[in-house]
């Protein structure tokens, strides 16, 4: 199964308040399912036929898994005109690299007094293979210099080799996925 997972993808805002809207999310209290996330993790799977891509989003109310094109149009809504302070970016990291390096002890889910700001997941915290217990910020911090850092010919190589993958704008993500099929 792991070889079929081409990458994990993070959707991040590059805004001062670090929030970005995504639709069809279970945590939303609105009819349209929109919610502002400070970050969001999904997995995009390439089926063995190479032509089919699915998104695995545990927080989505769309079908599970969801075809990539449907997910992009219904959840990301690239045609929806956002306020200028909102820009969506995606950090694309090859799944085996992500699973090897990523760690989160959930400290980002606690307030300054150490109280939970939201109910934590029931599964264990994530410890990286090197023993790191928390490096979430390395993945969620995105700077203007991160976008388009690699030349087109180097993009695929960078996604499949760099610890923090590659950062794409929303218009670039589907184009990239179609190129690696």
For residue 32, what is the domain's CATH number? 3.10.620.10
Torsion of CA 71, 158, 179, 57, to 10 degrees: -10
pLDDT at 47: 77
55 three-state secondary structure: strand
Q: Please state, rounded to an integer, the average pLDDT across all residues of the chain.
A: 80
Q: How many domains does the chain have?
A: 1
**Alpha carbon 98 to its chain's center:** 11
Q: For residue 127, is it within any domain?
A: no
Q: For residue 145, is it within any domain?
A: yes
Q: For residue 116, is it within any domain?
A: no
Give the tens place of pLDDT for each residue, 67-107. 988 998 898 876 666 666 666 778 888 888 988 999 999 99
Q: For residue 66, is it within any domain?
A: yes
pLDDT at 115: 96
Q: For residue 119, is it within any domain?
A: no
Q: How far is CA 34 from CA 61, 67, 85, 92, 101, in A?
A: 11, 19, 17, 23, 30
Domain coverage including residue 85:
6-95+140-180
Q: Is the pLDDT of residue 41 over 70?
A: yes
Q: For residue 50, is it within any domain?
A: yes
Q: For residue 111, is it within any domain?
A: no
Element (H, E) at 155: helix 152-159
Quickly state the pLDDT bin for 144 (edges 50, 70, 90).
low
pLDDT at 111: 95
DSSP 120: P
Give the tens place of pLDDT for each residue, 43-64. 888 877 767 889 999 999 999 9
Q: For residue 63, is it within any domain?
A: yes
């Amino acid at each position: 199964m792991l070889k079929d997972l081409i990458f994990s993808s993070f959707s991040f805002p590059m805004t001062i308040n670090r929030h970005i809207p995504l639709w069809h999310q279970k945590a939303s209290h609105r009819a349209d399912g929109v919610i502002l996330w400070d970050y969001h993790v999904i997995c995009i799977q390439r089926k063995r036929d190479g032509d089919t891509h699915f998104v695995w989003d545990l927080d989505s109310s769309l079908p599970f898994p969801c075809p990539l094109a449907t997910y992009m149009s219904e959840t990301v809504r690239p045609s929806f005109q956002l306020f200028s302070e909102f820009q969506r970016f995606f950090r694309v990291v090859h799944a085996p690299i992500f699973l090897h390096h990523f760690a989160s002890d959930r400290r980002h889910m606690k307030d300054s007094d150490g109280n939970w700001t939201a109910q934590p997941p029931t599964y264990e915290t994530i410890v990286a293979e090197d023993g790191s217990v928390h490096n979430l910020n390395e993945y969620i911090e995105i700077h203007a210099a991160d976008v388009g850092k690699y030349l087109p010919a180097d993009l695929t190589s960078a996604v499949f080799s760099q610890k923090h993958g590659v950062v794409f704008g929303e218009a670039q993500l589907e184009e990239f996925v179609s190129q690696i099929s």
